[in-house]
Amino acid sequence: MPPVTIRPFQPADAPALAALFHAAVHGIARLYYSEAQVQAWAPGVPDPARFEARAADGRILLVAADAEDAPLAYGDLEPDGHIDHLFCRPDAAGTGITALLYKALEAEARALGIERLHVEASEPARRFFLKQGFAELARRDFELAGVPIHNFAMEKQLGAS
């Protein structure tokens, strides 16, 4: 694994995280979803202001950064234990960086006394979360921008810290 630092989000990260999200959907999720589904999910690079707003809404937003402090992956943890985003740059996928980032999110959850983590995992994220000890609860079929798509409701019991 290349040298990596897990650190809190900084406002200057917002443009890189927006590009990372788009690249992850188009570079990783496209292996599991149709072109129409990928386009519905991430039609363009989102406004970086959305990432600044996420970081300011009470959630923990962590970034895995390389030796030059460029984001390789990011993830968030909401106060109720929900992990809404966990995305990795396609060129860093499979290197262990996302697992390291996830472990930092879980440590934050434990430190806060959160007893249950839950996610709505995409096809590729489903496999990742199963490896992290999550249980699959149900497949969720829904529409996004009028396009049928699916993900998986998953959870992990942490127990009392």
- Return the CATH number at 53: 3.40.630.30
Label residue 3 by pLDDT band (50, 70, 90). confident
Q: How many domains does the chain have?
A: 1
Cβ distance 140 to 152 under 8 Å? yes
DSSP string, 86-116: EEE-GGGTTSSHHHHHHHHHHHHHHHTT--E
Q: What is the pLDDT of residues 15-42, one digit of tens each?
A: 999 999 999 999 999 999 999 999 999 9
Q: Give residues with Cβ within 8 angstroms of 66, minimum separation 6.
A: 2, 3, 4, 72
Range of the domain at 13: 5-157
> What is the model's pLDDT at position 1?
64
Across 74-80, average pLDDT: 97
Tens of pLDDT, residues 102-155: 999 999 999 999 999 999 999 999 999 999 999 999 999 999 999 999 999 999
**Residue 160: per-residue pLDDT:** 55
Question: Which residue is it, tokens 């127990």?
Answer: 159
Write down the residue that tokens 């390389």 correspond to: 66
Neighbours of 19 (CB within 10 A): 15
CA gap 91, 62 in Å, rounded:
19
Tell me, what amino acid is at 131? K
The Cα 102–Cα 133 span in angstroms is 12
Q: What is the pTM of this model?
A: 0.94
If pLDDT is split at 50, 70 and 90, which confidence band does 69 have? very high
User: CA 94, CA 79: separation in Å to the nearest integer?
Assistant: 28
**pLDDT number for residue 130:** 97
Query: Is the model's pLDDT at 70 over the cut of 50?
Result: yes
**What is the average pLDDT across 39-65?**
96
- φ, ψ for residue 136, nearest 5 deg: -85, 125
Please report where in the chains the tokens 């262990």 appear, as a residue: 96
